Amino acid sequence: MTPIIQAMSRVELQQAVEEARRAWQTAEASVEDEASLEALRIRFLGKKGVVTALMTRLRDLSPEERAEAGRMLNALKTEVTEGLEARRAALMETASRDREAKERYDFTLPGTWRPIGRLHPLTRVRLEIEDVFQRLGFVVATGPEAESDYYNFEALNMPADHPARDEWDSFYLGEGRLLRTHTSPVQIRVMRSQQPPVRIICPGKCYRRDNPDATHSPVFYQVELLWVEQGLTLANLKWVISEFVSSFFGPEYEMRFAADYFPFTEPSAQVHIRKVGREAPARHLGGWLEIMGAGMVDPAVLAGVGYDPEEVTGFAFGLGVERMAMLRWGIEDIRSFYENHPRFLAQF
Ligand code: DAH
């Protein structure tokens, strides 16, 4: 476009307006993005823009001419303003359509399956057992898996030549050390470190020299319980266990004690449970299932840790975590817990 510098006649201004309009129409068609749109706005409507410059020429005309030329110029200004507006709207429309297309979800597609981990059934059972006894006021205690002969046997009333040791055959580490075969050594460790009353449960891993089969595993879990205080009797033991049976298995289970032998308790018992009113065809014991070994702590064990057996009495039990889980869910092979097949684990 020719720069407008000198005074203009009406006809000249009219021609300049027409020329500006054509220039605008050509330029308008080539707008592609925000930047070119803004450049166009500045070129036509900016302070030094084409339309603005023509406006200043109105003063060259007579008042009559000026009115008509002013209308013409205003019409051009409106055309440009509205055109810019329309272009801007069109650009925004395209941008939002692009965005939508990119973000659109196809709700008919199958979702992404994200497998969520969960607690191992043995962990679940252990936590649940801890919970039952913590509510009864017992505190969780732990001890080492690599134990000394003293804690695993000796202090539990099993001297070196005691035949009962055969039942708890271990993996021996040398120099009097072995992998603990039960959680009972934790009883001794705790009693040696504090005075009565003692109310503890001890969950943990145990090891035995057993060949794996449906009911044996060389590594397994136990939970031990120990309560030592003045005046405790077998009746207290029975109450604690019955609380556990009804919390863990449900109120529809009954329990009984059957005589047993453990070197560290006197008297000793096996605890059996059975679903009330359940007919018991195939299973031995007439439907009764053994869930734990228990008893009154042998006075020799109490004396061995420095307690006075005339002053305090105590009771204890030890249960197998796997066995609890097997009874709860009807699992028949203990090895299922360690094979870690996702399809087995996903059931719990
Ligand atoms: N420690 C025994 C075992 O592993 C279980 C047991 C029996 C623990 C009687 C006790 C108890 O505390 O009093 O077979």
pLDDT tens per residue, range 264-318: 999 999 999 988 876 655 555 667 888 999 999 999 999 999 999 999 999 999 9
Atom of ligand 1 nearest to the CA of 264: 13
pLDDT at 278: 65
Say if residues 270 and 290 touch (Cβ distance below 8 Å): yes
| 39, 53, 56, 227, 319 from 49: Cα distances, Å | 10, 6, 11, 96, 93
Q: Which atom of ligand 1 is nearest to the CA of 222?
A: 4
Q: What confidence category does residue 1 fall into, taking pLDDT thresholds of 50, 70 and 90?
A: low
| CA 179/CA 309 separation, integer angstroms | 29
* pLDDT tens digits along 235-268: 999 999 999 999 999 999 999 999 999 999 999 9
Confidence at residue 255, expressed as pLDDT on a 0 to 100 scale: 93
Please report, rounded to a whole number, the percentage of residues in the chain having pLDDT higher than 90: 64
> Cβ atoms within 10 A of the Cβ of 247, count?
16
Distance 283 CA to ligand 1 centre (A): 24
- The residue with greater pLDDT, 289 or 182, is 182
Tokens representing 121 are: 């059934």
Q: How far is the CA of 36 from the centre of ligand 1 (A)?
A: 86
Query: What ligand 1 atom has the least distance to the C-alpha of 315?
Result: 13
Task: Classify the C-alpha dihedral 143-148-154-155 as positive or negative.
Answer: negative
Say which residue, 275 or 204, is predicted with more confidence. 204
Pick left, alpha or beta for residue 330 (phi over 0 → left; psi -120 to 50 → alpha; otherwise beta). left
Distance 341 CA to ligand 1 centre (A): 31
Flag the least confident range among 68-72, 224-228, 314-318.
68-72
Only one residue has tokens 């201004």, namely 13
What is the distance in A from the centroid of ligand 1 to the CA of 281?
Answer: 29
Reported for 187-191, long-range contacts at CB under 8 A and 24+ positions apart, including other chains, are 187/156, 187/224, 187/226, 187/297, 187/301, 187/316, 188/151, 188/155, 188/156, 188/301, 188/304, 188/305, 189/141, 189/143, 189/151, 190/141, 190/226, 191/226, 191/228, 191/302, 191/305, 191/306, 191/307
The protein residue with its alpha carbon nearest to ligand 1, atom 10, reads 317
In terms of average pLDDT, the best of 220-229, 270-279, 329-338 is 220-229
Reported as a single tens digit per residue, the pLDDT across 112-170 is: 888 888 999 999 999 999 999 999 999 999 999 999 999 999 999 999 999 999 999 99
- State the pLDDT at residue 288: 84
> Dmax of the chain from CA atoms?
133
pLDDT at 280: 58
Confidence of residue 78 (pLDDT cuts 50, 70, 90): very high
- Closest by CA to 295, choosing from 275, 321, 314, 276, is 314
CA of 138 to the centre of ligand 1 (A): 17
Q: How do 198-207 and 139-140 pair as beta strands?
A: parallel
Ligand 1 pocket by Cβ (under 6 Å): 182, 184, 224, 262, 265, 293-295, 316-318
Q: Please choose, from the candidates 311, 59, 75, the residue with its C-alpha nearest in 3D space to the C-alpha of residue 195.
A: 311
Asked if 229 and 194 count as a contact pair (C-beta separation under 8 A), the reply is no
Residue to mutate, 182, 191, 227, ligand 1, most ligand atoms under 8 Å from C-beta: 182
Give the residue, by CA position, lying nearest to ligand 1 atom 9: 294
Confidence of residue 11 (pLDDT cuts 50, 70, 90): confident
Nearest to 200 by CA among 212, 210, 188: 188
**Ligand 1 atom showing the smallest separation from residue 187 Cα:** 12
Q: What is the pLDDT confidence band of residue 101, given thresholds at 50, 70 and 90?
A: confident
C-beta separation of 219 from 335 below 8 A: no
Q: Whose CA is nearest to atom 12 of ligand 1?
A: 317
CB 220 within 8 A of CB 334: yes
Atom of ligand 1 nearest to the CA of 226: 12
User: What's the gap in Å between 184 CA and the centre of ligand 1?
Assistant: 6
pLDDT of residue 14: 87
Judge contact between 58 and 72, C-beta under 8 A: no
Among 199, 262, 271, 297, say which to mutate for ligand 1: greatest number of ligand atoms within 8 Å of CB: 262
Query: Average pLDDT over the chain, rounded to whole?
Result: 91
Question: What is the Å distance from ligand 1's center to 131 Cα?
Answer: 20
Sheet holding 265-275, edge to edge: 139-140, 198-207, 219-229, 313-320, 289-297, 265-275, 253-260
